[in-house]
Amino acid sequence: MPELPEVEVVRAGLERALIGATVSAAEVFDGRSLKRHVSIAELSSGRVAAGHGKTLDPQTQQLRANDFVQRLTGATFLTPARRGKFMWIPLQPPEDRHQQAAGTAGGQPVQALLAHLAMSGQLLLRTPTAPEDKHVRIRLWVSTPAGEQLRLDFADQRRFGSLAIDSLIPTSDGKPAGWGTSDPLLPQQAAHIARDLLDPHCDFAQVAKTLKTKQTAIKKILLDQQLLSGVGNIYADEALWESQLHPETPAARIALSKLEMLLHNAAGVMAKALAEGGTSFDELYVNTAGEAGYFARSLQAYGRSGEACLRCGTTLTSSQAIGRTSHFCPHCQRKR
């Protein structure tokens, strides 16, 4: 699935094209892609249908689709932001834009378009006449400040991803919410997500101290988005290989200095992946132009089980011990 570097590549692509763009129309082809969206009618009645990972009934799908289209049409996109694997675009409603033109508007945005790509979600920028993308679930028609017309396709083969309009709430520490924004506001549905390792406000020393209190396997902890966000299976394996740590080692058994080194290695690996456009193994991850990333050619551990370790020459192996496939060197990363 897309991890931090891949989501950041998409965010940057949207930033270059969509700041100040206005949504002229929206189409929902598959209401299941609005599993995280909650309609105003649901909020008013206090009866919010379960939608996280569950199939919404057709009536709720249609209710949410109508609400999504109505609330998004006419809104203007501000600067896209990201925390971990969650990405959002703050929205300026039409009435605020008209007030601003008259010199009466002010304050910060209160809602955002929230996107979670999950396993196979894609946000693709196209010209209006471009060929149809596969598996399009939601489509937005936008007009840029320069007058260019664009099509933003949310495609998702496996339907685990979603779009939603969500309320923005203050960050718990009063600092900017994430990468790409200076506002201390983040979507309510992302409030439980920890800062990621590329966030300039992430405190590596404090995160290491928190990890040190855990008896859980270090690989499993790296994947816990409430402790640190953005790291998935690929970059966890890479960071552990760089740090010469076995994925099943309990975090509490690792020296504090070693844990902090691990975090810096994870950040370094993701920064390198970001520079190469992310990691693509198949057509499920592409950037906003539909292009693949090239970091797969630089992987040291992930997906290389049965091949020689590039550090010591030992044959790499894999394990399912913590419920996820881990790739590691049995010599360099001995289980102690």
> Tokens 């360099």 label which residue?
332
Residues 28 and 158 in one domain: yes
Q: Look at residue 84 in the predicted model and tell me its pLDDT.
A: 94
In a domain, 196, yes or no: no
Q: Which helix (H) or strand (E) holds 114?
A: strand 111-116
In 3D space, the residue among 270, 281, 206, 264 whose CA is nearest the CA of residue 232 turns out to be: 270
State the catalytic residues.
Answer: 2-3, 85, 324
In this structure, what token pair is assigned to residue 237? 């394996």
| pTM of structure | 0.90
In this structure, what token pair is assigned to residue 307? 């091949």
In a domain, 176, yes or no: yes
CA distance 42 to 63: 9
Residues 176 and 219 in one domain: no
In a domain, 63, yes or no: yes
Residues 172 and 277 in one domain: no
Structural domain span for residue 264: 204-328
Residues 168 and 266 in one domain: no
| Environment class of 83 (CB within 10 Å of its CB; exposed 0-12, middle 13-18, buried 19+) | buried
Residues 177 and 276 in one domain: no
In a domain, 333, yes or no: no
Residues 180 and 234 in one domain: no
CA distance 247 to 244: 9
Residues 178 and 235 in one domain: no
CA distance 179 to 199: 6
In SS3 terms, 208-220 reads as HHHHHCCCCEHHH
In a domain, 197, yes or no: no
Residues 173 and 32 in one domain: yes
In 3D space, the residue among 237, 279, 259 whose CA is nearest the CA of residue 4 turns out to be: 279
Residue 131 is given by DSSP the state P
Residues 179 and 240 in one domain: no
Q: What are phi and psi of 166, to 5 degrees?
A: -130, 155
In a domain, 199, yes or no: no
CATH number for the domain that contains residue 234:
1.10.8.50
Amino acid symbol at 143: S
pLDDT in tens, the chain (336 residues): 678 889 999 999 999 999 999 999 999 999 999 999 999 999 888 778 765 545 788 999 999 999 999 999 999 999 999 999 999 999 998 876 544 543 334 567 899 999 999 989 999 999 999 999 989 999 999 999 999 999 999 999 999 999 999 999 999 999 999 999 999 999 999 999 999 999 999 999 999 999 999 999 999 999 999 999 999 999 999 999 999 999 999 999 999 999 999 999 999 999 999 888 877 655 556 667 777 675 777 899 999 999 999 999 999 999 998 888 999 999 999 987
Sign of CA dihedral 127, 144, 70, 37: positive
Query: Into how many domains does the chain fold?
Result: 2
Residues 279 and 159 in one domain: no
Q: For residues 140 and 151, is the Cβ–Cβ distance under 8 A?
A: yes
Final residue belonging to a domain, choices 137, 165, 190? 190
In a domain, 68, yes or no: yes
Which positions ≥6 away from 151 have C-beta within 8 Å?
A: 125, 126, 127, 128, 130, 139, 140, 141, 142
Residues 135 and 23 in one domain: yes
Orientation of helix 204-212 relative to helix 256-275, angle to 10°: 130
In 3D space, the residue among 231, 297, 324, 310 whose CA is nearest the CA of residue 270 turns out to be: 231
Final residue belonging to a domain, choices 127, 159, 190? 190
Q: Look at residue 280 in the predicted model and tell me its pLDDT.
A: 60
In a domain, 162, yes or no: yes
- What are 170's strand-pairing partners? 185
Final residue belonging to a domain, choices 140, 160, 190? 190
Residues 49 and 182 in one domain: yes
Amino acid symbol at 217: A
How many angstroms separate the Cα of 183 from the Cα of each of 79, 107, 150?
10, 11, 27
Q: Look at residue 102 in the predicted model and tell me its pLDDT.
A: 37
How many angstroms separate the Cα of 2 from the Cα of each of 12, 139, 280, 318, 326?
14, 20, 9, 21, 17
